[in-house]
Structure 1
Amino acid sequence: MAHPSSFQDATLTEAVRLIEEAGPLEDSQALREAAGADPGAAGRIAQRARILAGRTGLVAELAGARAWAPWVLLGLVALIVIAGLSLAGNVLGGGERRINVVVALASLLGLHLLTLLLWLIGLLVSPGSFNASFGWIWIALTARVAGGRQGQVPVLLRATTRLLAQARLLPWALGFVSHAIWALSFAVVIAAMLFALAFRNYALNWETTILDPDFFVQGVQWLGRLPAWLGFPVPDAQAVRSPLAAASGQRAWALWLTGCIVVYGLLPRAAFALLCAAVWRMRRQALAPDLSLPYYRKLIARFDALTPPNIVDADPGQSPHLAPQHLPSADATETLMAIGFELPDELPWPPAALDMRGARAMRIDGSAAAMRQLQGTLARLRPRRVLVGCHAGSSPDRGTERFLREVLALCSDCRLWLFGTADDEARRRWHTWLGDAGLDGIHAGDALEPMLHDWT
Structure 2
Amino acid sequence: MTNTALREPAFTDAVITEAIRWTEQNGPLDDAQALRTAASRAVDSHRQVTERALLLGERIGLQPELARARQWAPWVLLGLAALIVVAGLGLAGNVVGGGERHINVIVALASLLGLHALTLLLWLVGLWLPIGSFNTASLGWIWLSLTARVAGGKRGQAPVLVRAATGLLSRAKLLPWAFGLVSHGIWSLSFAVVLAAMLFALAFRSYTLSWETTILEPEFFVRAVQALGWLPAKLGFPVPDAATVMAAPGAASAGGQRTWALWLTGCIAVYGLLPRIALALLSAGVLRSRRKALQPDWHEPYYRKLLARFAAMAPAAIVDADLGRLRGATPSSLPASELQDAIFVLGFELPPDMPWPPATLPAAIAAQAQRIDGSAPARRALLDQLARVHPRTVLMVCHAASSPDRGTERFLREVLAHCGECRLWLADSPGASATQRWLDWLRDTGLERIIATDRLDAALSESALAQ
Shorter chain as denominator, the TM-score bin is 0.5 to 0.7
The whole-number CA distance in structure 1 between the counterparts of 2:51 and 2:86 is 45
Alignment-derived partner of residue 77 in structure 1: 81
The whole-number CA distance in structure 1 between the counterparts of 2:279 and 2:232 is 19
The whole-number CA distance in structure 2 between the counterparts of 1:154 and 1:22 is 14
Alignment-derived partner of residue 196 in structure 2: 191
Q: CA RMSD in A?
A: 1.9
Alignment-derived partner of residue 226 in structure 2: 221
Instruction: State the Cα distance separating 1:211 from its structure 2 match.
Output: 1.1
2:166 pairs with 1:144: no
1:134-213 alignment, distance < 5 Å: 134-213=139-218
Percent of aligned positions with the same letter in both sequences?
Answer: 66
Q: Is the 8 A contact 1:85 1:192 kept in 2?
A: yes
Instruction: State the Cα distance separating 1:121 from its structure 2 match.
Output: 1.0
The whole-number CA distance in structure 2 between the counterparts of 1:211 and 1:137 is 39
Alignment-derived partner of residue 93 in structure 2: 89
Question: In the alignment, which of 268, 280, 299 is matched to residue 292 of structure 1?
Answer: 299
Unaligned runs of 5+ in 1: 319-456
Letter in 2 for 1:63: A
Q: Is the 8 A contact 1:4 1:10 kept in 2?
A: no
Alignment: residue pair count: 317
2:263 pairs with 1:259: no
Letter in 2 for 1:220: V
TM-score, L = length of structure 2: 0.66
3-state secondary structure, aligned to 1:149: coil
3-state secondary structure, aligned to 2:41: coil
The whole-number CA distance in structure 2 between the counterparts of 1:108 and 1:86 is 10
Question: In the alignment, which of 24, 34, 44 is matched to residue 28 of structure 2?
Answer: 24
Question: In the alignment, which of 10, 13, 29 is matched to residue 9 of structure 1?
Answer: 13
Query: Residues 202, 307 of structure 1: CA spacing in aligned structure 2 closer, same or farther, 3 A cutoff?
Result: same
Give deviations 1:310-358, integer Å, cap 9, x for gaps: 247863699xxxxxxxxxxxxxxxxxxxxxxxxxxxxxxxxxxxxxxxx
Query: Residues 298, 253 of structure 1: CA spacing in aligned structure 2 closer, same or farther, 3 A cutoff?
Result: same
3-state secondary structure, aligned to 2:99: helix
Q: Is the 8 A contact 1:180 1:269 kept in 2?
A: yes
Q: Is the 8 A contact 1:127 1:171 kept in 2?
A: no
3-state secondary structure, aligned to 1:309: coil
Give deviations 1:74-121, integer Å, cap 9, x for gaps: 111111111111110001142221100010000001111111111111
Question: In the alignment, which of 240, 246, 254 is matched to residue 235 of structure 1?
Answer: 240
Range with greater deviation from structure 2 (63-72 or 127-136): 127-136
3-state secondary structure, aligned to 1:224: helix
The whole-number CA distance in structure 2 between the counterparts of 1:226 and 1:97 is 28
Query: Residues 309, 85 of structure 1: CA spacing in aligned structure 2 closer, same or farther, 3 A cutoff?
Result: same
3-state secondary structure, aligned to 1:186: helix
The whole-number CA distance in structure 2 between the counterparts of 1:87 and 1:4 is 38
2:289 pairs with 1:282: yes
Unaligned runs of 5+ in 2: 1-6, 326-467
Instruction: State the Cα distance separating 1:128 from its structure 2 match.
Output: 3.2
3-state secondary structure, aligned to 1:141: helix
Alignment-derived partner of residue 431 in structure 2: none
Query: Residues 87, 208 of structure 1: CA spacing in aligned structure 2 closer, same or farther, 3 A cutoff?
Result: same
TM-score, L = length of structure 1: 0.67
The whole-number CA distance in structure 2 between the counterparts of 1:49 and 1:269 is 38
Query: Residues 284, 313 of structure 1: CA spacing in aligned structure 2 closer, same or farther, 3 A cutoff?
Result: closer
Instruction: State the Cα distance separating 1:162 from its structure 2 match.
Output: 0.6
3-state secondary structure, aligned to 1:96: coil
Q: Is the 8 A contact 1:127 1:165 kept in 2?
A: no
Query: Residues 317, 42 of structure 1: CA spacing in aligned structure 2 closer, same or farther, 3 A cutoff?
Result: farther
2:135 pairs with 1:130: yes
Letter in 2 for 1:38: A
Alignment-derived partner of residue 48 in structure 1: 52
Give deviations 1:118-147, integer Å, cap 9, x for gaps: 111111222331111110110011011111
Q: Is the 8 A contact 1:68 1:146 kept in 2?
A: yes
1:396-407 alignment, distance < 5 Å: none
The whole-number CA distance in structure 2 between the counterparts of 1:225 and 1:165 is 38
Give deviations 1:284-315, integer Å, cap 9, x for gaps: 10001000001000100100111111247863
